[in-house]
Chain A
Amino acid sequence: MAFVMASFMCSLLLASLLTPQCVRATSAAQMCTEVVANLTYNCENLGLEEIPESLPATTKFLEFGFNFLPDLQSSTFSRLRDLVYLDLTRCEINWVHEDAFENNDDLSTIVLTGNPLIFMADTAFQGPKALKHLTLTQTGMTSVTFIPMQNLENLETLHLGSNHLSSIQLPSTFSARNLKVLDFELNAIHHITKEDVASLKRATNLSLNLKGNNIQDIEDGAFHSTAFQSLNFGGISDVSTVLKGLQNSITQTLWLGSFHDVDDLDVSPDMLEGLCNTSVEALNIQSRYFSNSVAIFQCFTGLQELDLTETHWNSLPSGIEGMNQLKKLVLNQNAFDDLCQINAASFPNLTHLYVKGNTHKLDFGAGCLGKLENLLHLDLSHSKVVSDTCCNTQLRNLSHLQHLNLSNNEPQTLQGQAFGECPQLEVLDFSFTHLHTDASPSPFQNLHLLQVLNLSNCLVETSNPQLLVGLQGLQHLDLSGNPFQSGILTKDNLLHPVDSIQVLILSSCSLTALEQQAFGSLGKLKYLDLQHNSLTGSGLAALSNLNKTHLNLAANSIHTIPPSLLPVFSQQSIINLSHNPLDCTCSNIHFLTWYKENLHKISDPEETTCGDPPALRGVKLSNVTLSCATSAVGIVFLVLFLLTVIITSIVLGRRYIIRKYENI
């Protein structure tokens, strides 16, 4: 009996748990998300079988993926005449019937990814005046003839990936004049003939994606005197197949990289020979193995950009010649021990060098890049870079360097005028690299052109008022994650020398209070981020110096806002007070009133909720209505009450006296 009772209670509980959920679910089915009123709607994952009546006829952008529309007819979208973008991903569409989009004049993008298409009528895409983007990825297509060609003359992108196509040939009825992107990723294309490539010649500046096709042969001369914006043969087993086929072609970007999940052949110098007879500006050959030889580079001499990400180099050979054209070299994810092992002198005209994510500890060395006089951009992030005192010997001769990224590395000790060798620096990123500045209080002196400095999580000496001396051009400073001793930003803090700053990030700095005048000299501040500190309402005195600033005070310990601070808040552009334990009692009534009057200034109102009293915890501030007798009204009532008492007592007193002496 007890068991029956228990199971009964259990199912009752389950029923009560599930029923409201279900009610919410069915009502959600009617409710598309309004992203931009009257323009953009998202109706994904709602199990809809038609376009909901609730969608306004003015809708232009519609995300309708993961619903159920087995056949598209001319009536399906006829009400939404203004549609520009229509995403019908995985709607189990089998049929696209005649004139399915006839009423959608402005439609420029149709996405049909992942639909098991059986047939598309000849006039399926008629109607739109300029259909530009058509995605037919993974629709089970076995031939390009499946696509009705009427009204596709304006097409700019055509995505045909993950189908069963075996040829790249476009039908002669297809005018590819405006085609810029043609995507055949992951199909079954094994052969490319002259005729195939000739069918693409109507398009100019085409980007052709053949990634993940196991191409076994390309007819000799197939690409003769053709020009491409980009060609992607990613994952091809033998790169020589492609390079032989590309003889006398012109390509801006050629992607010949491989992947971890693809078996490919090691690249030998003769496999790259074909590259000598093609014109390529940028070559990517990531994740391949090379025989470590100078000869590998013999056909790279025409390149302007070379990406050798994860190509398993311990050192690049010395004696590489003819790489004078190369402007950009990517050596990410390799295994150098010392920066000098890249033999930078072989690439004298480099402007951009990336050695990111090195798998070994990388010794910064001394003057390893000294021959790169034109270097503008250097990225050594995530590379376990170690150095002795940084950075003048390491960056010797890099007098034009504008952008330096040393983030996520081993701890660095900065010397005095640490960047004396690169006075042109505009962006310097040290985030998550522990910095020691004991050697000099002002390591950034002379960086007069520096605009962006990222020192987040560097554990810098925030109590050192000299730290940022010399950075008079600085516009953007990130000091997040650097704790301030005692938690107080004092009036003589390290920010005083950087008075042209526009964006200042002081989030997660363990701040409890900002002293009056702490931001005294920062007159140009547009955005101040103080998130994730422990600031309270009384510790915000310094904000009175700011004007028209976007103020982010999210996730602090702000309880009440003193009334004196409200005019200060009023003069800012945007304020975020979300995730604070805000007081919603009468003691904070001035702020609560101000909040409702200034909702247009509030960022993230959804997460701006009461922390007190317990009854209102979690309630949005904008929904709180308090009836507190304001003090002025209270005084009036009190005065009226007292007056009444006095007058009554006088009147009663007079009567008493009159009565008393009446009989005399």
Chain B
Amino acid sequence: MKIFMVPFFASVLFCPSYSSKWITHTACKDDKLEVLYQSCDPLQDFGFSVDHCYNPLSKNLKIRFGTILRYDIKELFLDVDLFIMKKSLYSFSYPVCEVDFPKFSFCGRKKGEKIYYAGDINNPAFPIGKGEYHILLRLYNENNFTIVCANFTVISY
């Protein structure tokens, strides 16, 4: 058995960056609501938190977010897909940075820069019904290169 374990440990030890999944983090947690996330970008993890986890979600949530840019973000787009029981329920696309309309102060930052954002996300208030929801979120730039890929799990008790 030891013989068989050797390649396993060797592969885990020597190729840590090639493990297929990043650990699951907690963005916020409360008696009624829990938000978990995991990076689905094979290159890197990112940091994210929500200032509180009330249900119903309040308007203009404050978030904190940190990552390293692997590409320039002259233009940045957000795709969001919401799933319940593996069925797609809702999806939308939102331009975050455009050349003629950089909405946020981080628009236009360069490859290699560390980004830290603490502020509002301009969301409307909405209640979350009991259950488990999965949200796939992808931020990508003008060349369709992934800037952030995230799998969110929202559990409402």
Report A's interface with B, CB cutoff 8 A.
Answer: 8, 11-12, 14-15, 18-19, 21-22, 25-26, 45, 47, 65-66, 89-90, 111, 113-114, 135, 137-138, 159, 161-162, 185-186, 211-212, 234-235, 257, 259-262, 286-287, 307, 309-310, 330, 332-333, 357
User: How long is the Cα–Cα vector from A406 to B4 in the complex, in angstroms?
Assistant: 66
User: How long is the Cα–Cα vector from A207 to B7 in the complex, in angstroms?
Assistant: 57
A309 contact set on B, CB distance < 8 A: 100-101
User: How long is the Cα–Cα vector from A137 to B72 in the complex, in angstroms?
Assistant: 12
B112 beta carbon closer than 8 Å to chain A: yes
Closest 5 pairs between A and B when the two form their complex, measured CB to CB: A89-B112, A15-B8, A114-B112, A113-B112, A18-B11
User: How long is the Cα–Cα vector from A661 to B103 in the complex, in angstroms?
Assistant: 111
Say whether B100 contacts A330, CB under 8 Å: yes
User: How long is the Cα–Cα vector from A174 to B102 in the complex, in angstroms?
Assistant: 33
A137 contact set on B, CB distance < 8 A: 110, 112-113
Q: List 29 A-B contacts (CB under 8 A).
A: A11-B8, A12-B4, A14-B8, A15-B4, A18-B7, A19-B10, A21-B11, A22-B10, A22-B14, A65-B111, A66-B112, A89-B111, A89-B112, A90-B112, A113-B110, A113-B112, A114-B68, A114-B112, A137-B110, A159-B110, A161-B113, A162-B109, A235-B105, A257-B102, A260-B103, A261-B120, A287-B103, A307-B100, A309-B101
Say whether A310 contacts B105, CB under 8 Å: no
Say whether B104 contacts A261, CB under 8 Å: yes
Say whether A8 contacts B1, CB under 8 Å: yes
| Further pairs besides A14-B8, A19-B7: 8, Cβ < 8 Å | A15-B7, A19-B11, A89-B112, A137-B112, A159-B110, A259-B104, A259-B107, A309-B101
User: How near does chain A come to B48, taking the closest CB pair, in angstroms?
Assistant: 16
Most chain-B CB neighbours within 10 Å: which of A18, A138, A162?
Answer: A18
A330 contact set on B, CB distance < 8 A: 100
B157 beta carbon closer than 8 Å to chain A: no
Given A114-B68, A259-B105, A15 and B113 contact (CB-CB distance below 8 Å):
no
B12 beta carbon closer than 8 Å to chain A: yes
Say whether A161 contacts B110, CB under 8 Å: yes
Say whether B111 contacts A332, CB under 8 Å: no
User: How near does chain B come to A624, taking the closest CB pair, in angstroms?
Assistant: 31
User: How near does chain A come to B42, taking the closest CB pair, in angstroms?
Assistant: 10
User: How long is the Cα–Cα vector from A114 to B112 in the complex, in angstroms?
Assistant: 5
User: How long is the Cα–Cα vector from A90 to B69 in the complex, in angstroms?
Assistant: 10
B119 CB contact (under 8 Å) in A11, A111, A261, A332: A261
B17 contact set on A, CB distance < 8 A: 47
B85 beta carbon closer than 8 Å to chain A: no
B1 contact set on A, CB distance < 8 A: 8
What residue of chain B has the Cβ atom nearest to residue A262's Cβ?
A: B105
Given A211-B105, A261-B120, A114 and B8 contact (CB-CB distance below 8 Å):
no
What residue of chain B has the Cβ atom nearest to residue A47's Cβ?
A: B17
User: How long is the Cα–Cα vector from A234 to B104 in the complex, in angstroms?
Assistant: 10
User: How long is the Cα–Cα vector from A205 to B12 in the complex, in angstroms?
Assistant: 55
Given A19-B11, A114-B68, A261 and B117 contact (CB-CB distance below 8 Å):
yes
B144 beta carbon closer than 8 Å to chain A: no
Say whether A90 contacts B68, CB under 8 Å: yes
B14 contact set on A, CB distance < 8 A: 22, 26
B113 contact set on A, CB distance < 8 A: 113-114, 137-138, 161-162
A211 contact set on B, CB distance < 8 A: 105, 108
B15 contact set on A, CB distance < 8 A: 18, 21-22, 25-26
B143 beta carbon closer than 8 Å to chain A: no
B108 contact set on A, CB distance < 8 A: 185, 211
What residue of chain B has the Cβ atom nearest to residue A11's Cβ?
A: B8
User: How long is the Cα–Cα vector from A186 to B116 in the complex, in angstroms?
Assistant: 12
B117 contact set on A, CB distance < 8 A: 261
What residue of chain B has the Cβ atom nearest to residue A113's Cβ?
A: B112
B43 beta carbon closer than 8 Å to chain A: yes
User: How long is the Cα–Cα vector from A161 to B113 in the complex, in angstroms?
Assistant: 10
Find residues 82-104 in chain B having any chain A CB closer than 8 Å to their own CB: 100-104
User: How long is the Cα–Cα vector from A14 to B105 in the complex, in angstroms?
Assistant: 45
User: How long is the Cα–Cα vector from A221 to B117 in the complex, in angstroms?
Assistant: 36
B21 beta carbon closer than 8 Å to chain A: no
Most chain-A CB neighbours within 10 Å: which of B12, B112, B120?
Answer: B112
User: How near does chain A come to B65, taking the closest CB pair, in angstroms?
Assistant: 11
User: How near does chain A come to B46, taking the closest CB pair, in angstroms?
Assistant: 15
